[in-house]
Amino acid sequence: MRYVLGVDVSTTGAKALLIDERGAVIDAQNTALTLQQPQPLWSEQNPDEWWQGAVASIRAVTQRHPDKPIAAVGLTGQMHGLTLLDSEGQVLRPAILWNDQRTQAQCDEITAKVGFERLIQLTGNRALTGFTAPKILWVREHEPEVYRRIAHILLPKDYLRYKLTGQTASEMSDSAGTSLLDVANRRWSQEVLDALDIPRAWLPQLYEGTEVTGAITDEAANLTGLPAGTPVVGGGGDQAAGAVGVGAVRPDVIGLSVGTSGVVFAPLSQYAYEPEGRLHAFCHALPNAWHFMGVMLSAAGSLQWYHDTLTPDVSFDALMQEAAQAPAGCEGLRFLPYLTGERTPHPDPLARGGFIGLTARHTRAHLTRAVLEGVAFGLRDCFELIRAVGIPANAVARIGGGGARSLLWRQIIADVIGMPVTSVNTTEGAAFGAALLAAVGVGLYPDAASACAACITTTEVVEPSAEAAAYEQPYREYVALYPAIRPVLWG
């Protein structure tokens, strides 16, 4: 039996996941990470904390399983984060993260310099505050002393790669989220780099997610317990790796993640883009594959906020039991889940959430269910855009993330999107996908489709119920709320 390791550096933790070649989870270890918000709208982390967290998690796993030799390591992690190194490989400042919102002026500058239509054609996306390129321009404008010392620009998981292997490298799916990649041709866009005056030499060498990018150094081996020379495979950004982890590697399997954010991930066999940039168009972590992605920023995060703020002494299970007693549509109560701004279909960092339609008749059960329904409506917004550009008639949605544990929520989502929602046997998300990519990278499987077929099975299918029709009018009302409220509350 052979084993592979998936390493995931998320916003909240550094995780190491050990699986065997059949996909069975042997062990997992997560080390918590801290988040810094030094100013309103800012979000930063210390890259050394990523590394120390990854070392702690990997070492815990290797020490517990010295009899299970690891054939390869796959990497995944939070996308878009700007990590700056000098010529000696030292970190120049805290990393600016995906959920940092300070760069709207730089996004406007990018759009003006490249052109709105051309930017979407080349990079598959609008310039968004979460992406990497506007962060680079922000540093140039506000921290010129840091900017002058830049030698390398890396994404979060690729900083771990650098520390593990000594190589500055990235792969296509994560790099597609920088606004600097020619996504159709899977290479850095010299046109965009020239327009923004960013040196090509700062950017890492590109690989596919299933390619070997380097090997564990002696120094990293001493720290982690991994054998020196162990191959490190490209891996993928967290969403692409998470899609691999549920088997969304072909166009008829759509990945649906209900984590802190909500993601609808639709694989594509050829590059395409949504002309208005309301959908992300990225490279997949697989060779010659791309994907559309719709993202809502507060999915399970909305329920977490609701629980922590309004019902901290009530368990999630109790809340769900109450919500099941409220009728579909919540008797006119709507919830807008824009607690941290929004991306799809409204690329608006200033969007705000709210309960609309409250009456004295509404109870806590209605409020809870309204949150569940509001998130489902946000996911449907993503599905509607993807349907407009084409989904195979036989497509199914495979669901993951913390929100997927609730049967009630899965049923609401199936009813709202009008599609069966399928659970799978894996719950380890992006780390599991990274491990499968590592298995492909060292030849345990010929390709990702084969790895997924061997290691992932479906466990439960929730079909749309008779209540599905009851959500049509509430969904239309939900869609009408953003344009109606926006000019009043946030201009």
Residues belonging to the active site:
238
Q: How many CB atoms lie within 10 A of CB 309?
A: 8
Question: What's the full length of the chain, in residues?
Answer: 491
Beta 70-77 vs 3-9: how paired, if at all? parallel
Compute CA distances 98 → 43, 101, 129, 155, whole Å: 8, 8, 8, 10
Q: Cα separation of 237 and 235, whole Å? A: 7
**Half-sphere exposure at residue 410, Cβ-oriented, CA atoms within 13 angstroms:** 19
The single residue listed with the structure tokens 């899965």 is 410
Pairing of strands 44-45, 152-154: unpaired
Give the contacts of 105 (CB within 8 A, at least 6 positions apart): none
- Give the CB-side neighbour count of residue 452, counting CA atoms within 13 A: 22
Tokens 């390129």 belong to which residue? 133
Residue keyed to tokens 């395409």: 272
Which amino acid would we find at residue 489? Answer: L
In contact, 301 and 260? CB cutoff 8 Å: yes
Q: Which residues contact 313 (CB under 8 A, 6 or more apart)?
A: none
DSSP structure string for 133-195: HHHHHHHHHH-HHHHTT--EEE-HHHHHHHHHHS--EEEHHHHGGGT-EETTTTEE-HHHHHH
Q: Which amino acid is at 143?
A: E
